[in-house]
Amino acid sequence: MGENNQIIGEDDYILLKDFKVETEVDEEKGFILCFWVYIFNSNAFPSTILKQVYAETNSSPPLLVLDEKTLMIFPLTCLLNEALGSGNTDLPSEVPKVSAEIEHPQNNWIHVGYEVSSDFVRLYINGEIAGELHLSSLSNDNSMPNGSRKRTLIGITGDSNLQGFIHDAKVLLSTLSIKEQYVKDPPLRLSIDESSISDIEEDNGFWNIVGGKASCRRIFSLDVLLLNTFGQPVNKELEVVASLLYAHNWLPVEKTNDEEPPLLASCDGIEFASCDRPCKLSKGRASFKLKISKLSSKCDNRQFCIKFGVSKLEGYRFLEDFSPSIRCISRNRTPRTSTIVWKKISAVHPVNGSQPFGLDDSSCEPKHNIVHEAKLSPTSKRVRLGEAKISAVDQHSEECNSLASKQNQVENGFGSRLEARPENFEEMNTSLSDSESTGARDSALKSVSSRGHSVPDVTIFRYCLGGLTDRSLLLKEIATTVSDEEISGFAEQVSLYSGCSHHRHQIKMAKRLIDEGTVAWNLISQNNIQVQWESAVFEIEEQFMKIASCSSRSLTQQDFELLRKIAGCQEYMAQENFEKMWCWLYPVAYTLSSDWVNEMWNSTSPKWIEGFITKEEAELSLQGSRGLQEPGTFILRFPTSRSWPHPDAGSLVVTYVGTDYCLHHKLLSIDNVYRFLEYGKRMSK
């Protein structure tokens, strides 16, 4: 740890067992003790975190105690010394204390403030008053200490399992503000950026990753962020290293039989052992391109996980993050038969009875699919499928493959299609490996090569092979130097070379997204580095309603809270926070600007599209008093894990109760809907 003192000092983060502070305090004037605490691996409750030490009485009553989700702090009185002797953690209910409920007390930084005066004791959690205890009832001339008394606060483990860190502990005069101390020096944490995940299939909380031998394994990419506890990026010269562990015990995965490292880092087409290729943080972000060489089937079907940690800072648990459990599977070259359910559709428009989804009674019904439908309840906030049935065609994990996807397309009367992605789309962005489907595209590639284009081939291939961060940077560079026509040409070429048509829509909107985002930020910031979130929401709403062509439905407080969560900010928003929020909001507003989606958004009775809600909130709202709602009850929402330039940014998701009385999530491909609408307009002329 000493090697990194210039970056993160040893005194910045202290183990609980090593924490110690001494101070002489005049109890008549009072004092404030404030600090950040990070607890992990606590299983026995109650557990003493900090205790008081009175040298003259040789007593050590607890000061701060964690009891599952309750944080308790005790007054500094001799009455407490008499009630609880040294080493006693059995807490009688009659002992006065101040308590606060903490939703996630472990593996999270919590700021604790302890204010003591002659009249009261106050507990502050994250800068806000959480409780207060008046000391008049405890006053006892025989028990209260006289004058100033020296006390030593020691971080200890109430049992052998309690471990943690203390950061920025201070004893201050009671005249100072705890709120100011809370925002002054927030601690750090390392976190996987879920919005950056690419080429990983998520399945009920697990990651499915194609790995194995060199000819089959695929690159997957993600970013890791160094943030402060408020979610703001922190720029430090650190390196992050990735390692593959077994998910059940966090032990390292062994090398393959060929002595190949289990986790590989890909750099310029060359593979390195991930432990030998740490990734440098740049403006608080490290971008990884990884491959897994070890299959779960070769390890007794055990699951893996990837640990990300800061190099040379082993043991700082808040500077580590772990992926969900991973199933590493071999590539299945055979297209999988669809197992989802759908039927002929009569999609009734919620406002005027037209058919916005483009599927009518003449829609074909694939032989391998099963019927799945439900009824409409227009008066319910969560409308059900029936008169307004929505079809979902389950596609296999290689849906971007133009050959394989043909088996899962639904042809409508105009020869176009509306498709839906599999239930595990939430964390999925599948793409072809380098060796797949080349024959199917040979003639098309030759056709492109024969035509001139302004964007170099190397840029096209960089975009196709890059992660979301790489694509974003490329588009920002291209959009400022080429025309709209050239952007459209670039979009077509990327769609062709990548075999995934869903890139087209995101590339075409790049120029407007960047230009309008720059204007919006300039209006909000007024040349300030940071702006208050509360003052920014008015301009954000105005820009959203203008892009979405919406005048009747404004954003709610719930919508703004989700936007702030996506932005990763608290009271103040920097430009980087705004850009994260804008890259999610703009594609959503762009989708809402189309006529058929716009009318659904504006409809409030029935309410077809919920506001900005998370996957978990959608699932919770489908829960009734006796369990799940009736089969077919659904909610339309926008996925919070999809931001520009992700191919599915701005798409709609239907969360519904299936006939199996389980919750399902289907993504409606907006890209195909746009093509259908364009085709329909041409046919109507």
Per-residue pLDDT at 363:
33
Query: The tokens 């008394």 sit on which residue?
Result: 149
Give residue 426's pLDDT.
46
- Are residues 551 and 630 located together in one domain of the fold? yes
Q: Where are the beta strands (DSSP E) in 9-119?
A: 13-15, 20-25, 31-40, 47-51, 62-67, 70-73, 98-101, 109-116
Question: Residue 63's domain is classified under what CATH number?
Answer: 2.60.120.200
Q: Given this model, what pLDDT does residue 348 score? A: 32
Residue 232 belongs to some domain of the structure: yes
Residues 123 and 175 both lie in one domain: yes
Q: Which long-range contacts (CB under 8 A, 24 or more apart) does 382-385 make?
A: 382/621, 382/622, 382/629, 382/633, 382/634, 382/635, 383/606, 383/607, 383/608, 383/633, 383/634, 384/629, 384/630, 384/632, 384/633, 384/634, 385/632, 385/634, 385/656
Is the CB of residue 134 less than 8 Å from the CB of residue 120?
yes
- Does residue 422 form part of some domain? no
Are 495 and 602 part of one and the same domain?
Answer: yes
Measure the CA–CA gap between 525 and 527, rounded to whole angstroms. 5
- How confident is the model at residue 590, as a pLDDT? 92
Q: Which tokens belong to 463? A: 């975009």
State residue 392's pLDDT score: 35
Contact between residue 391 and residue 361 where contact means Cβ atoms under 8 Å apart: no
Query: Contact 609/601 with Cβ under 8 angstroms?
Result: yes
> 34 and 113: one domain?
yes
What residue numbers bound the domain in which 643 lies? 457-671
The residue type of 620 is: L
Q: pTM of the prediction? A: 0.54
Best CA proximity match to 585, nearest among 652, 531, 638, 635? 638
* Beta strands at 663-668 and 652-657: parallel, antiparallel or unpaired: antiparallel
Same domain, 575 and 659: yes
Residues 161 and 216 in one domain: no
Q: Which two tokens stand for residue 456?
A: 């170099």
Rounded to whole angstroms, the Cα distance separating 56 from 152 reads 12
Dihedral over Cα of 406, 410, 411, 417: its sign: negative
Q: What is the CATH number of the domain that holds 209?
A: 2.60.40.10
Token representation of residue 190: 């390392």
Residue ranges of the chain with per-residue pLDDT less than 70: 1-10, 23-29, 54-59, 76-95, 135-161, 332-453, 625, 669-685
- pLDDT tens digits, one per residue of 550-590: 888 889 999 999 999 999 888 899 999 999 999 999 999 99
Does 344 fall in a domain?
no
Beta carbons of 307 and 275 less than 8 angstroms apart: no
* Residue at 305 is within a domain: yes
The per-residue pLDDT for 121 is 84
Last residue of a domain, one of 327, 344, 377: 327
Last residue of a domain, one of 295, 327, 359: 327
Return the exposure string of 325-364: e unless at least 16 CB atoms fall within 10 Å of the residue's CB, then b. Answer: bbbbbebeeebeebebbbebbebbbbeeeebbbbbeeebe
The C-alpha angle 30, 187, 570, rounded to 5 degrees, equals 90
Q: Residue 462: which CATH number? A: 1.10.238.10
- Inside any domain, residue 295: yes
Structure confidence at residue 264 (pLDDT): 94
- Looking at the structure, do residues 61 and 197 belong to the same domain, yes or no? no
Q: Number of folded domains in the chain?
A: 3
pLDDT tens digit string along 146-164?
444 444 444 444 445 578 8
Identify the sign of the CA torsion 464, 468, 470, 475. positive
Look at residues 327, 349, 384 and tell me which one is the last residue of a structural domain. Answer: 327
In-domain check, residue 568: yes
Provide the pLDDT for residue 139: 53
Residue carrying the six token digits 């049935």: 389
The answer to whether residue 128 sits within a structural domain is: yes
Q: Please, what is the angle between helix 575-592 and helix 557-567, to 10°?
A: 130
Closest CA to 220 of 201, 205, 239: 201
Cα 224 from Cα 627, distance rounded (Å): 37
Judgement on whether residues 161 and 205 belong to the same structural domain of the protein = no
- Are 239 and 283 in the same domain? yes
Q: How far apart are CA 315 and CA 99, in angstroms?
A: 30
541/659 same-domain check: yes
Inside any domain, residue 408: no
Whether 278 and 167 map to the same domain: the answer is no
250 and 154 in one domain?
A: no
